[in-house]
Amino acid sequence: MILHSSTKSGRIAEFFACGVIEELGWQTSLCQQDGVDLIAFNQNEFIRVQVKGSRIRKEPNKNTGLQFMCGIGGNKRMPNSQDFDIACMVSIDHRKCWFIHVCDVQRKTIRRPKSFFENADLEFESWERSLDIFRENRSNEKY
């Protein structure tokens, strides 16, 4: 395994997330801004996606799972719908994505065992669930 800096791992995760979202029938555009890494769009829908990449920890006597840092800003506050719509957690070692709507981000740091990413339907199911929440929240907004 080649060791990458966190910046390089982040870029790998962003490109991989774009590919997965494209495979799910959407188009993507990288737009690295504070809090948003890419925009996913399909017809008249536009979704702001924040990508978080992680590798399996392989240190002796440590948890061998994955850890995703979701805090926002210098003081690491919890994200909200003003920041992004969907977070894409990328297991670089599994080459797999897990999507979660921002309202489901309940911790600044999210941990998952490596077995979590072995679910063959994880990408499709989590994307569809996140889209359902996004659409429901959008329909409840008052303009």
What tokens were used for 57?
Answer: 């920890």
List per-residue pLDDT tens for the chain, 143 residues long.
555 677 788 899 999 999 999 999 999 999 977 779 999 999 999 999 999 999 987 766 666 789 999 999 888 899 999 999 999 999 999 999 999 999 999 999 999 999 999 999 999 999 999 999 999 998 887 54
Q: Residue 143's pLDDT is what?
A: 45
Contact (CB, 8 A) for 132 and 124: no
pTM of the model: 0.90
